[in-house]
Structure 1
Amino acid sequence: MNNTLPNLPLALKSLFTGYIMVVGLGLLVAGGQILMTHGQADGKFGISVDDIVYSYYGDRTNSKLENKLNGSMKDKAPVEERTELIKWARDGADKATFESTIKPIVDQRCAMCHGHKHMMMSLPDVTQYDTLKELAQSDKGADITSLTRVSHIHLFGISFIFFFVGYIFSMAVGVNKWVKSILIFVPFAFLIVDVAAWWLTKMNPQFAWMVIIGGFGYSLAATVMLFTSLYQMWVLPYLKKESPH
Protein backbone atom coordinates (compact mmCIF):
# COMPACT_ATOMS: atom_id res chain seq x y z
CA MET A 1 0.00 0.00 0.00
CA ASN A 2 1.24 3.50 -0.92
CA ASN A 3 1.12 5.35 2.40
CA THR A 4 0.48 8.83 1.04
CA LEU A 5 -2.73 10.74 1.54
CA PRO A 6 -3.81 10.90 -2.12
CA ASN A 7 -3.34 7.13 -2.54
CA LEU A 8 -4.93 5.84 0.66
CA PRO A 9 -7.77 3.33 0.31
CA LEU A 10 -11.27 4.72 0.70
CA ALA A 11 -11.77 3.13 4.12
CA LEU A 12 -8.72 4.89 5.60
CA LYS A 13 -9.67 8.18 3.96
CA SER A 14 -13.10 7.88 5.57
CA LEU A 15 -11.55 7.07 8.96
CA PHE A 16 -9.12 9.98 8.81
CA THR A 17 -11.77 12.38 7.50
CA GLY A 18 -14.18 11.50 10.29
CA TYR A 19 -11.45 12.06 12.86
CA ILE A 20 -10.45 15.39 11.29
CA MET A 21 -14.06 16.61 11.22
CA VAL A 22 -14.62 15.79 14.90
CA VAL A 23 -11.28 17.30 15.95
CA GLY A 24 -11.94 20.43 13.89
CA LEU A 25 -15.37 20.83 15.47
CA GLY A 26 -13.80 20.24 18.88
CA LEU A 27 -11.29 23.05 18.27
CA LEU A 28 -14.11 25.42 17.36
CA VAL A 29 -16.12 24.49 20.45
CA ALA A 30 -13.01 24.87 22.61
CA GLY A 31 -12.49 28.34 21.18
CA GLY A 32 -16.08 29.24 21.99
CA GLN A 33 -15.72 27.91 25.52
CA ILE A 34 -12.59 30.01 26.04
CA LEU A 35 -14.41 33.13 24.81
CA MET A 36 -17.28 32.51 27.24
CA THR A 37 -15.04 31.87 30.27
CA HIS A 38 -11.55 33.40 30.16
CA GLY A 39 -12.70 35.78 27.43
CA GLN A 40 -15.07 37.56 29.81
CA ALA A 41 -12.76 37.79 32.81
CA ASP A 42 -12.41 41.54 32.26
CA GLY A 43 -16.14 41.97 31.64
CA LYS A 44 -15.70 42.42 27.88
CA PHE A 45 -16.24 39.87 25.13
CA GLY A 46 -13.10 38.61 23.38
CA ILE A 47 -9.69 37.40 24.52
CA SER A 48 -7.28 40.06 25.76
CA VAL A 49 -4.13 40.16 27.85
CA ASP A 50 -6.21 41.41 30.79
CA ASP A 51 -8.41 38.30 30.52
CA ILE A 52 -5.34 36.10 30.85
CA VAL A 53 -3.94 38.12 33.74
CA TYR A 54 -7.24 38.06 35.66
CA SER A 55 -7.68 34.32 35.05
CA TYR A 56 -4.26 33.21 36.27
CA TYR A 57 -2.69 36.05 38.29
CA GLY A 58 -5.95 37.59 39.41
CA ASP A 59 -7.26 41.14 39.66
CA ARG A 60 -5.93 41.81 43.13
CA THR A 61 -7.68 45.16 43.49
CA ASN A 62 -11.02 43.33 43.84
CA SER A 63 -12.33 40.07 45.25
CA LYS A 64 -12.70 36.99 43.09
CA LEU A 65 -16.45 37.16 43.70
CA GLU A 66 -16.64 40.73 42.39
CA ASN A 67 -14.50 39.97 39.36
CA LYS A 68 -16.66 36.99 38.44
CA LEU A 69 -19.90 38.93 38.89
CA ASN A 70 -18.57 41.69 36.63
CA GLY A 71 -17.05 39.19 34.20
CA SER A 72 -18.04 35.69 33.13
CA MET A 73 -20.98 35.49 35.59
CA LYS A 74 -22.38 38.90 34.68
CA ASP A 75 -25.42 37.49 32.89
CA LYS A 76 -26.36 35.06 35.66
CA ALA A 77 -28.10 37.59 37.92
CA PRO A 78 -29.71 41.04 37.59
CA VAL A 79 -27.60 44.06 38.41
CA GLU A 80 -29.38 44.70 41.72
CA GLU A 81 -28.52 41.25 43.06
CA ARG A 82 -24.96 41.39 41.76
CA THR A 83 -24.54 44.76 43.46
CA GLU A 84 -25.83 43.27 46.72
CA LEU A 85 -23.29 40.44 46.53
CA ILE A 86 -20.42 42.81 45.71
CA LYS A 87 -21.38 45.18 48.54
CA TRP A 88 -21.44 42.24 50.96
CA ALA A 89 -17.94 41.17 49.87
CA ARG A 90 -16.56 44.72 50.19
CA ASP A 91 -18.14 45.19 53.63
CA GLY A 92 -16.35 42.20 55.11
CA ALA A 93 -18.57 39.24 54.16
CA ASP A 94 -20.24 38.83 57.56
CA LYS A 95 -22.23 35.69 58.29
CA ALA A 96 -25.41 37.38 59.51
CA THR A 97 -25.92 39.23 56.22
CA PHE A 98 -25.06 36.06 54.33
CA GLU A 99 -27.88 34.15 56.04
CA SER A 100 -30.47 36.90 55.73
CA THR A 101 -29.73 38.45 52.34
CA ILE A 102 -27.00 36.71 50.36
CA LYS A 103 -27.91 33.03 50.68
CA PRO A 104 -31.40 33.44 49.13
CA ILE A 105 -29.81 35.11 46.09
CA VAL A 106 -27.14 32.44 45.80
CA ASP A 107 -29.66 29.62 46.19
CA GLN A 108 -31.77 31.04 43.38
CA ARG A 109 -29.07 32.21 40.96
CA CYS A 110 -26.00 30.08 41.59
CA ALA A 111 -26.92 26.77 43.23
CA MET A 112 -27.83 25.07 39.95
CA CYS A 113 -24.14 24.79 39.08
CA HIS A 114 -22.39 25.82 42.29
CA GLY A 115 -24.52 24.02 44.87
CA HIS A 116 -23.61 20.73 46.56
CA LYS A 117 -26.58 18.91 44.98
CA HIS A 118 -25.88 19.99 41.43
CA MET A 119 -22.17 20.78 41.53
CA MET A 120 -20.47 20.63 38.13
CA MET A 121 -17.05 19.02 38.29
CA SER A 122 -15.00 20.89 40.87
CA LEU A 123 -16.86 24.21 40.96
CA PRO A 124 -16.96 25.75 44.45
CA ASP A 125 -20.14 25.24 46.48
CA VAL A 126 -21.05 28.89 46.99
CA THR A 127 -24.17 28.02 48.98
CA GLN A 128 -21.80 27.48 51.92
CA TYR A 129 -20.75 30.57 53.87
CA ASP A 130 -17.10 29.57 54.29
CA THR A 131 -16.70 28.99 50.55
CA LEU A 132 -18.29 32.28 49.53
CA LYS A 133 -16.35 34.17 52.20
CA GLU A 134 -13.12 32.83 50.71
CA LEU A 135 -14.21 34.05 47.28
CA ALA A 136 -14.87 37.46 48.82
CA GLN A 137 -11.15 37.84 49.52
CA SER A 138 -8.63 39.45 47.17
CA ASP A 139 -8.65 37.72 43.76
CA LYS A 140 -5.37 35.85 43.33
CA GLY A 141 -6.41 34.03 40.17
CA ALA A 142 -6.31 30.29 39.64
CA ASP A 143 -5.20 28.26 42.66
CA ILE A 144 -2.38 25.73 42.50
CA THR A 145 -4.73 22.74 42.78
CA SER A 146 -6.80 23.89 39.81
CA LEU A 147 -3.71 24.69 37.75
CA THR A 148 -2.23 21.26 38.44
CA ARG A 149 -5.46 19.50 37.50
CA VAL A 150 -6.04 21.46 34.29
CA SER A 151 -2.36 21.24 33.29
CA HIS A 152 -2.21 17.45 33.37
CA ILE A 153 -5.56 17.14 31.55
CA HIS A 154 -4.39 19.63 28.92
CA LEU A 155 -1.01 17.99 28.39
CA PHE A 156 -2.25 14.40 28.21
CA GLY A 157 -5.48 15.05 26.31
CA ILE A 158 -4.35 17.51 23.67
CA SER A 159 -1.05 15.73 23.01
CA PHE A 160 -3.05 12.66 21.94
CA ILE A 161 -5.02 14.81 19.50
CA PHE A 162 -1.84 16.30 18.04
CA PHE A 163 -0.26 12.85 17.76
CA PHE A 164 -2.98 11.59 15.43
CA VAL A 165 -3.21 14.89 13.53
CA GLY A 166 0.54 14.75 12.98
CA TYR A 167 0.42 11.08 12.01
CA ILE A 168 -2.17 11.78 9.31
CA PHE A 169 -0.26 14.81 8.04
CA SER A 170 3.00 12.82 7.91
CA MET A 171 1.52 11.06 4.84
CA ALA A 172 1.17 14.33 2.94
CA VAL A 173 2.99 14.65 -0.38
CA GLY A 174 4.77 17.61 -1.96
CA VAL A 175 5.84 19.10 1.37
CA ASN A 176 9.52 19.58 2.14
CA LYS A 177 10.57 17.02 4.77
CA TRP A 178 11.95 19.70 7.09
CA VAL A 179 8.84 21.84 6.77
CA LYS A 180 6.69 18.79 7.43
CA SER A 181 8.75 17.74 10.45
CA ILE A 182 8.71 21.22 11.96
CA LEU A 183 4.97 21.60 11.38
CA ILE A 184 4.31 18.26 13.10
CA PHE A 185 6.47 19.25 16.08
CA VAL A 186 5.19 22.82 16.45
CA PRO A 187 1.86 22.02 18.20
CA PHE A 188 3.63 20.01 20.90
CA ALA A 189 6.13 22.82 21.48
CA PHE A 190 3.43 25.48 21.70
CA LEU A 191 1.35 23.27 23.99
CA ILE A 192 4.26 23.22 26.44
CA VAL A 193 4.63 27.00 26.07
CA ASP A 194 0.91 27.45 26.72
CA VAL A 195 0.81 25.38 29.92
CA ALA A 196 4.12 26.76 31.20
CA ALA A 197 2.79 30.27 30.62
CA TRP A 198 -0.18 29.58 32.92
CA TRP A 199 2.20 28.95 35.80
CA LEU A 200 4.48 31.84 34.90
CA THR A 201 1.51 34.22 34.64
CA LYS A 202 0.33 33.01 38.04
CA MET A 203 3.63 34.34 39.42
CA ASN A 204 4.07 37.36 37.13
CA PRO A 205 1.38 38.93 34.89
CA GLN A 206 4.02 39.94 32.32
CA PHE A 207 3.96 36.36 30.99
CA ALA A 208 0.30 36.60 29.91
CA TRP A 209 1.36 37.19 26.30
CA MET A 210 2.90 33.71 26.24
CA VAL A 211 -0.51 32.14 26.87
CA ILE A 212 -1.97 33.85 23.82
CA ILE A 213 1.07 32.99 21.68
CA GLY A 214 1.02 29.34 22.79
CA GLY A 215 -2.69 28.86 22.13
CA PHE A 216 -2.56 30.65 18.77
CA GLY A 217 0.57 28.76 17.71
CA TYR A 218 -0.71 25.24 18.20
CA SER A 219 -4.18 26.11 16.87
CA LEU A 220 -2.72 27.54 13.65
CA ALA A 221 -0.36 24.59 13.10
CA ALA A 222 -3.15 22.08 13.71
CA THR A 223 -5.48 23.95 11.33
CA VAL A 224 -2.88 23.93 8.54
CA MET A 225 -2.31 20.18 8.96
CA LEU A 226 -6.03 19.38 9.09
CA PHE A 227 -6.94 21.32 5.94
CA THR A 228 -3.87 20.12 4.05
CA SER A 229 -4.74 16.51 4.89
CA LEU A 230 -8.34 16.91 3.73
CA TYR A 231 -7.22 18.60 0.52
CA GLN A 232 -4.72 15.88 -0.32
CA MET A 233 -7.13 13.03 0.40
CA TRP A 234 -10.14 14.29 -1.54
CA VAL A 235 -9.15 17.07 -3.96
CA LEU A 236 -5.59 16.32 -5.09
CA PRO A 237 -6.32 12.83 -6.52
CA TYR A 238 -9.01 14.24 -8.81
CA LEU A 239 -6.84 17.14 -9.93
CA LYS A 240 -4.16 14.62 -10.95
CA LYS A 241 -6.71 12.57 -12.89
CA GLU A 242 -7.91 15.63 -14.79
CA SER A 243 -4.39 16.82 -15.57
CA PRO A 244 -3.38 16.03 -19.18
CA HIS A 245 0.11 15.20 -17.93
Structure 2
Amino acid sequence: MTTKYTPLKDHDAPLKVLFTGYLCTVAIGYLFALIQILFTHGMADGKFGLSVDDIVYSYYGNRSGTALEVKLNGSMKENASEQERFAIMKWTRDGADANDYKDDGIDKIIEQRCVMCHNKDSGSLPDFTKFDALKSYTTQDEGATFSSLTRVSHIHLFGISFIFMFVGLIFSFAETTSTQYKCIAIGMPYAFLITDILSWWLTKIHPMFAWLVIFAGMGMGISFAFMLVTSILEMWLFKPVFIDGFGAGYLQRRDSTDASIADRIWAVVKTVARSIKPAALFVKDQWLTQGLPFVKNLIASLTKK
Protein backbone atom coordinates (compact mmCIF):
# COMPACT_ATOMS: atom_id res chain seq x y z
CA MET A 1 0.00 0.00 0.00
CA THR A 2 1.52 3.31 -1.09
CA THR A 3 1.78 5.87 1.70
CA LYS A 4 2.11 9.65 1.46
CA TYR A 5 3.23 10.04 5.06
CA THR A 6 5.84 8.70 7.45
CA PRO A 7 4.46 5.56 9.13
CA LEU A 8 4.54 5.37 12.90
CA LYS A 9 7.25 2.71 12.95
CA ASP A 10 9.57 4.95 10.90
CA HIS A 11 9.30 8.05 13.08
CA ASP A 12 12.33 9.12 15.10
CA ALA A 13 12.55 7.80 18.65
CA PRO A 14 11.88 11.20 20.33
CA LEU A 15 8.64 11.57 18.38
CA LYS A 16 7.62 8.03 19.27
CA VAL A 17 8.26 8.78 22.94
CA LEU A 18 6.18 11.96 22.64
CA PHE A 19 3.28 10.11 21.01
CA THR A 20 3.49 7.19 23.43
CA GLY A 21 3.67 9.45 26.47
CA TYR A 22 0.59 11.33 25.36
CA LEU A 23 -1.38 8.17 24.56
CA CYS A 24 -0.47 6.50 27.86
CA THR A 25 -1.30 9.62 29.87
CA VAL A 26 -4.65 10.00 28.15
CA ALA A 27 -5.37 6.30 28.68
CA ILE A 28 -4.71 6.64 32.41
CA GLY A 29 -6.91 9.72 32.50
CA TYR A 30 -9.66 7.81 30.71
CA LEU A 31 -9.35 5.01 33.27
CA PHE A 32 -9.70 7.44 36.17
CA ALA A 33 -12.71 8.99 34.44
CA LEU A 34 -14.36 5.56 34.38
CA ILE A 35 -13.56 5.07 38.06
CA GLN A 36 -15.00 8.49 38.84
CA ILE A 37 -18.20 7.54 37.01
CA LEU A 38 -18.47 4.40 39.13
CA PHE A 39 -18.23 6.42 42.34
CA THR A 40 -20.69 9.13 41.23
CA HIS A 41 -23.28 7.97 38.70
CA GLY A 42 -22.57 4.34 39.61
CA MET A 43 -23.80 4.90 43.17
CA ALA A 44 -27.01 6.70 42.25
CA ASP A 45 -29.11 3.64 43.10
CA GLY A 46 -27.12 2.89 46.26
CA LYS A 47 -25.32 -0.08 44.70
CA PHE A 48 -21.77 -0.08 43.39
CA GLY A 49 -21.53 -0.56 39.64
CA LEU A 50 -23.05 1.30 36.73
CA SER A 51 -26.56 0.24 35.73
CA VAL A 52 -29.45 1.61 33.71
CA ASP A 53 -31.11 2.73 36.94
CA ASP A 54 -28.01 4.75 37.80
CA ILE A 55 -28.27 6.58 34.48
CA VAL A 56 -31.99 7.19 34.94
CA TYR A 57 -31.56 8.51 38.50
CA SER A 58 -28.65 10.74 37.45
CA TYR A 59 -30.39 12.47 34.54
CA TYR A 60 -34.14 11.86 34.82
CA GLY A 61 -34.18 11.56 38.59
CA ASN A 62 -35.81 9.20 41.04
CA ARG A 63 -39.29 10.69 41.05
CA SER A 64 -40.35 8.48 43.97
CA GLY A 65 -38.46 10.60 46.51
CA THR A 66 -36.71 13.88 47.17
CA ALA A 67 -33.28 14.73 45.85
CA LEU A 68 -31.86 14.61 49.38
CA GLU A 69 -33.28 11.14 50.02
CA VAL A 70 -31.90 9.81 46.75
CA LYS A 71 -28.42 11.06 47.63
CA LEU A 72 -28.61 9.65 51.16
CA ASN A 73 -29.58 6.26 49.77
CA GLY A 74 -27.10 6.50 46.92
CA SER A 75 -23.69 8.11 46.55
CA MET A 76 -23.78 9.73 50.03
CA LYS A 77 -24.87 6.58 51.84
CA GLU A 78 -21.49 5.91 53.43
CA ASN A 79 -21.12 9.45 54.79
CA ALA A 80 -23.70 9.12 57.56
CA SER A 81 -25.01 6.40 59.84
CA GLU A 82 -28.34 4.72 59.21
CA GLN A 83 -29.87 6.51 62.18
CA GLU A 84 -28.69 9.90 60.96
CA ARG A 85 -29.90 9.26 57.44
CA PHE A 86 -33.29 8.15 58.77
CA ALA A 87 -33.59 11.35 60.83
CA ILE A 88 -32.84 13.55 57.82
CA MET A 89 -35.26 11.66 55.58
CA LYS A 90 -37.99 11.81 58.22
CA TRP A 91 -37.49 15.56 58.54
CA THR A 92 -37.65 15.85 54.75
CA ARG A 93 -40.89 13.88 54.48
CA ASP A 94 -42.44 15.88 57.31
CA GLY A 95 -42.08 19.04 55.27
CA ALA A 96 -38.49 20.13 55.97
CA ASP A 97 -39.66 22.81 58.39
CA ALA A 98 -37.10 25.41 59.47
CA ASN A 99 -38.08 25.15 63.14
CA ASP A 100 -37.81 21.35 63.14
CA TYR A 101 -34.42 21.69 61.49
CA LYS A 102 -32.92 22.69 64.84
CA ASP A 103 -35.42 21.04 67.17
CA ASP A 104 -34.84 17.60 65.62
CA GLY A 105 -31.07 18.04 65.58
CA ILE A 106 -30.84 17.95 61.81
CA ASP A 107 -28.59 21.01 61.81
CA LYS A 108 -25.98 19.19 63.89
CA ILE A 109 -26.03 16.15 61.60
CA ILE A 110 -25.59 18.35 58.54
CA GLU A 111 -22.77 20.23 60.22
CA GLN A 112 -20.94 17.06 61.22
CA ARG A 113 -21.53 14.96 58.12
CA CYS A 114 -22.10 17.30 55.19
CA VAL A 115 -20.63 20.76 55.67
CA MET A 116 -17.06 19.49 55.45
CA CYS A 117 -17.63 19.21 51.69
CA HIS A 118 -20.79 21.22 51.10
CA ASN A 119 -19.64 24.70 52.06
CA LYS A 120 -19.12 28.09 50.43
CA ASP A 121 -15.66 27.05 49.18
CA SER A 122 -16.84 23.80 47.59
CA GLY A 123 -17.21 25.21 44.10
CA SER A 124 -19.88 23.29 42.19
CA LEU A 125 -21.29 21.56 45.30
CA PRO A 126 -24.26 23.17 47.07
CA ASP A 127 -23.49 25.19 50.21
CA PHE A 128 -25.31 23.44 53.06
CA THR A 129 -24.24 26.09 55.56
CA LYS A 130 -27.23 27.95 54.15
CA PHE A 131 -30.64 26.51 55.00
CA ASP A 132 -32.20 27.62 51.71
CA ALA A 133 -29.62 25.64 49.74
CA LEU A 134 -30.43 22.51 51.74
CA LYS A 135 -34.15 23.20 51.50
CA SER A 136 -33.97 23.16 47.70
CA TYR A 137 -32.95 19.49 47.85
CA THR A 138 -36.03 18.47 49.81
CA THR A 139 -38.23 18.66 46.72
CA GLN A 140 -38.87 15.83 44.27
CA ASP A 141 -35.72 14.49 42.67
CA GLU A 142 -35.78 15.43 38.99
CA GLY A 143 -32.19 14.50 38.22
CA ALA A 144 -29.74 16.83 36.55
CA THR A 145 -30.93 20.37 35.94
CA PHE A 146 -30.91 21.87 32.47
CA SER A 147 -28.34 24.44 33.59
CA SER A 148 -25.98 21.73 34.85
CA LEU A 149 -26.46 19.73 31.64
CA THR A 150 -25.60 22.83 29.62
CA ARG A 151 -22.43 23.39 31.64
CA VAL A 152 -21.26 19.78 31.51
CA SER A 153 -22.18 19.39 27.84
CA HIS A 154 -20.05 22.25 26.59
CA ILE A 155 -17.12 21.22 28.80
CA HIS A 156 -17.22 17.66 27.47
CA LEU A 157 -17.67 18.70 23.85
CA PHE A 158 -14.72 21.08 23.92
CA GLY A 159 -12.40 19.00 26.12
CA ILE A 160 -12.95 15.48 24.86
CA SER A 161 -12.98 16.52 21.20
CA PHE A 162 -9.44 17.87 21.65
CA ILE A 163 -8.32 14.56 23.15
CA PHE A 164 -9.78 12.62 20.23
CA MET A 165 -8.25 15.06 17.76
CA PHE A 166 -4.70 14.35 18.95
CA VAL A 167 -5.32 10.60 19.32
CA GLY A 168 -6.76 10.55 15.81
CA LEU A 169 -3.85 12.59 14.48
CA ILE A 170 -1.35 10.05 15.83
CA PHE A 171 -3.45 7.15 14.55
CA SER A 172 -3.61 8.71 11.08
CA PHE A 173 0.07 7.77 10.65
CA ALA A 174 -0.76 4.08 11.08
CA GLU A 175 0.02 1.95 8.03
CA THR A 176 -1.61 -1.33 9.01
CA THR A 177 -5.09 0.17 8.79
CA SER A 178 -6.66 0.95 5.43
CA THR A 179 -7.96 4.40 4.62
CA GLN A 180 -11.55 3.22 4.98
CA TYR A 181 -10.95 1.85 8.46
CA LYS A 182 -9.02 4.96 9.43
CA CYS A 183 -11.88 7.22 8.43
CA ILE A 184 -14.33 5.11 10.40
CA ALA A 185 -12.10 4.81 13.47
CA ILE A 186 -11.23 8.52 13.56
CA GLY A 187 -14.82 9.62 12.98
CA MET A 188 -16.45 7.20 15.42
CA PRO A 189 -15.41 8.94 18.67
CA TYR A 190 -16.91 12.23 17.54
CA ALA A 191 -20.14 10.57 16.47
CA PHE A 192 -20.40 8.71 19.76
CA LEU A 193 -19.44 11.82 21.75
CA ILE A 194 -22.26 13.84 20.21
CA THR A 195 -24.62 10.89 20.71
CA ASP A 196 -23.52 10.60 24.33
CA ILE A 197 -24.15 14.28 25.08
CA LEU A 198 -27.48 14.19 23.23
CA SER A 199 -28.53 11.09 25.16
CA TRP A 200 -28.09 12.96 28.47
CA TRP A 201 -30.69 15.49 27.37
CA LEU A 202 -32.99 12.82 25.99
CA THR A 203 -32.76 10.81 29.22
CA LYS A 204 -33.59 13.98 31.15
CA ILE A 205 -36.81 14.10 29.13
CA HIS A 206 -37.58 10.36 29.20
CA PRO A 207 -35.81 7.48 31.00
CA MET A 208 -36.07 5.15 28.00
CA PHE A 209 -32.98 6.83 26.50
CA ALA A 210 -30.73 5.67 29.36
CA TRP A 211 -29.60 2.74 27.23
CA LEU A 212 -28.35 5.21 24.64
CA VAL A 213 -26.00 6.75 27.22
CA ILE A 214 -24.39 3.37 27.87
CA PHE A 215 -24.21 2.50 24.16
CA ALA A 216 -22.55 5.81 23.25
CA GLY A 217 -20.07 5.52 26.11
CA MET A 218 -19.09 2.02 25.04
CA GLY A 219 -18.66 3.18 21.45
CA MET A 220 -16.33 5.96 22.51
CA GLY A 221 -14.28 3.58 24.62
CA ILE A 222 -13.94 0.95 21.89
CA SER A 223 -12.90 3.42 19.19
CA PHE A 224 -10.45 5.13 21.56
CA ALA A 225 -8.90 1.80 22.59
CA PHE A 226 -8.56 0.66 18.97
CA MET A 227 -6.67 3.77 17.90
CA LEU A 228 -4.48 3.79 21.00
CA VAL A 229 -3.49 0.11 20.88
CA THR A 230 -2.89 0.12 17.13
CA SER A 231 -0.69 3.21 17.35
CA ILE A 232 1.46 1.87 20.19
CA LEU A 233 1.86 -1.55 18.58
CA GLU A 234 2.97 -0.01 15.30
CA MET A 235 5.48 2.28 16.98
CA TRP A 236 7.23 -0.28 19.15
CA LEU A 237 6.16 -3.82 18.17
CA PHE A 238 5.58 -3.65 14.43
CA LYS A 239 7.73 -6.64 13.42
CA PRO A 240 6.76 -9.01 16.29
CA VAL A 241 3.06 -8.28 15.86
CA PHE A 242 2.40 -7.41 12.21
CA ILE A 243 5.18 -9.34 10.46
CA ASP A 244 5.84 -12.41 12.61
CA GLY A 245 2.76 -12.38 14.82
CA PHE A 246 -1.02 -12.50 14.68
CA GLY A 247 -1.23 -9.26 12.70
CA ALA A 248 0.37 -10.82 9.63
CA GLY A 249 -2.87 -12.53 8.62
CA TYR A 250 -4.74 -9.25 8.83
CA LEU A 251 -2.24 -7.52 6.53
CA GLN A 252 -2.61 -10.32 3.99
CA ARG A 253 -6.38 -9.95 3.99
CA ARG A 254 -6.07 -6.18 3.78
CA ASP A 255 -3.85 -6.35 0.69
CA SER A 256 -5.97 -9.02 -0.96
CA THR A 257 -7.66 -8.10 -4.24
CA ASP A 258 -10.94 -9.52 -2.95
CA ALA A 259 -13.10 -6.79 -1.50
CA SER A 260 -13.79 -7.17 2.21
CA ILE A 261 -17.10 -6.47 3.90
CA ALA A 262 -15.77 -3.10 5.04
CA ASP A 263 -14.77 -2.27 1.46
CA ARG A 264 -18.25 -3.11 0.23
CA ILE A 265 -19.83 -1.00 2.96
CA TRP A 266 -17.48 1.86 2.12
CA ALA A 267 -18.42 1.60 -1.56
CA VAL A 268 -22.11 1.76 -0.66
CA VAL A 269 -21.50 4.81 1.55
CA LYS A 270 -19.68 6.61 -1.27
CA THR A 271 -22.45 5.72 -3.72
CA VAL A 272 -25.11 7.04 -1.36
CA ALA A 273 -23.08 10.20 -0.79
CA ARG A 274 -22.84 10.80 -4.53
CA SER A 275 -26.60 10.38 -4.89
CA ILE A 276 -27.31 12.71 -1.98
CA LYS A 277 -25.31 15.58 -3.48
CA PRO A 278 -27.72 16.27 -6.40
CA ALA A 279 -30.65 16.04 -4.01
CA ALA A 280 -29.00 18.52 -1.66
CA LEU A 281 -28.39 20.92 -4.54
CA PHE A 282 -32.03 20.61 -5.58
CA VAL A 283 -33.23 21.34 -2.04
CA LYS A 284 -30.89 24.33 -1.83
CA ASP A 285 -32.19 25.69 -5.14
CA GLN A 286 -35.81 25.27 -4.05
CA TRP A 287 -35.10 27.01 -0.76
CA LEU A 288 -33.44 30.00 -2.43
CA THR A 289 -36.07 30.38 -5.15
CA GLN A 290 -39.24 29.58 -3.21
CA GLY A 291 -38.72 28.87 0.47
CA LEU A 292 -36.69 31.92 1.47
CA PRO A 293 -38.90 34.46 -0.35
CA PHE A 294 -41.98 32.90 1.27
CA VAL A 295 -40.44 33.17 4.75
CA LYS A 296 -39.43 36.78 4.13
CA ASN A 297 -42.93 37.68 2.96
CA LEU A 298 -44.45 35.92 5.96
CA ILE A 299 -42.19 37.79 8.39
CA ALA A 300 -42.95 41.08 6.65
CA SER A 301 -46.71 40.51 6.88
CA LEU A 302 -46.50 39.58 10.56
CA THR A 303 -44.37 42.65 11.28
CA LYS A 304 -46.92 44.97 9.67
CA LYS A 305 -49.68 43.56 11.85
Match of 1:182 among 174, 181, 184: 184
Question: Residue in 1 aligned with 2:206?
Answer: 204
Matched, 1:109 2:102: no
Following superposition of structure 1 onto structure 2, how do residues 19-58 of structure 1 map, counting pairs within 5 Å? 19-58=22-61
**Residues in 2 aligned to 1:138 and 1:169: alpha-carbon distance in whole angstroms:** 47
Counting only pairs closer than 5 Å after superposition, residues 145-164 of structure 1 correspond to structure 2 as 145-164=147-166
Q: Which residue of 2 aligns with 1:4?
A: 7
Change (3 A) 1:240 1:201: closer
Cα deviations by residue, 1:23-67 (Å, 9 ceiling, x for unpaired): 000010000000000001011111111101000000011000000
Cα distance in 2 for residues equivalent to 1:8 and 1:54? 48
Whole-Å Cα distance in 1 between the matches of residues 244 and 150 of structure 2? 54
TM-score if structure 1 supplies the norm length? 0.94
Identify the structure with bigger relative contact order (alpha carbons < 8 Å, sequence gap 6+). Answer: 1
Whether contact under 8 Å (1:114, 1:123) holds in the other structure is yes
Partners of 2:48 and 2:185 in 1: how far apart?
Answer: 31
Task: Give, as a single letter, the amino acid of the residue that structure 1 aligns with 2:69.
Answer: E
Distance 1:240 1:159 in 2: 30
Structure 1 position 99, deviation (Å): 2.6
Are 1:2 and 1:8, in contact at CA under 8 Å, matched by a contact in 2? no
**How many aligned positions are there?**
241
Residues in 2 aligned to 1:241 and 1:51: alpha-carbon distance in whole angstroms: 45
Kept after mapping to 2: 8 A contact 1:59/1:141: yes
Q: CA deviation at 1:195?
A: 0.3
C-alpha distance in 2 between matches for 1:137 and 1:153: 28
Deviation at 1:103, TM superposition (A): 1.4
- 2:133 matches 1:131: yes
- Aligned to 1:113, the other structure's residue is in SS state coil
Unaligned runs of 5+ in 1: none
Report the TM-score when normalising by structure 2: 0.76
Please say if residues 57 and 203 of structure 1, whose CA atoms lie closer than 8 Å, have aligned partners that are also in contact: yes
Q: Corresponding residue for 1:224?
A: 226
Q: Residue 7 of structure 1 contacts residue 237 of structure 1 at CA under 8 Å; is this kept in 2?
A: no
Distance in 1, Cα, partners of 2:242 & 2:35: 38
Give the partner amino acid of 2:14: A
Structure 2 equivalent of residue 80 of structure 1:
83
Query: How far apart in 1 are the matches of 2:70 and 2:192?
Result: 29
Give the ranges of 4+ consecutive aligned residues of structure 1 lying more than 3 Å apart after TM superposition. 237-243
Partner deviation per Cα, 1:72-122 (whole Å, 9 max, x = no partner): 001111111111111111110000121341111111111111111x31x21
Q: Which structure is larger by alpha-carbon Rg, 1 or 2?
A: 2
Unaligned runs of 5+ in 2: 246-305
Aligned partners of 2:42 and 2:51 also within 8 Å: yes
Q: Is the partner of 2:116 in helix, strand or coil?
A: helix
Residue 67 of structure 1 pairs with residue 70 of structure 2: yes
Q: Which amino acid aligns with 2:109?
A: I
Q: Hey, what's the Cα distance between the residues in 2 that align with 1:126 and 1:71?
A: 18
* Displacement of 1:155: 0.4
User: Aligned pair in 2 of structure 1 residues 79, 25: CA closer, same or farther (>3 Å)?
Assistant: same
Structure 1's 108 and 236: CA in aligned 2 closer, same or farther, altered over 3 A? same
- C-alpha distance 177-241 of structure 1, shift in aligned 2 (>3 A): closer
SS in 2 for 1:146: helix
Query: Are residues 242 and 224 of structure 1, via their aligned partners in 2, closer, same or farther at CA, if it must alter by over 3 Å?
Result: closer
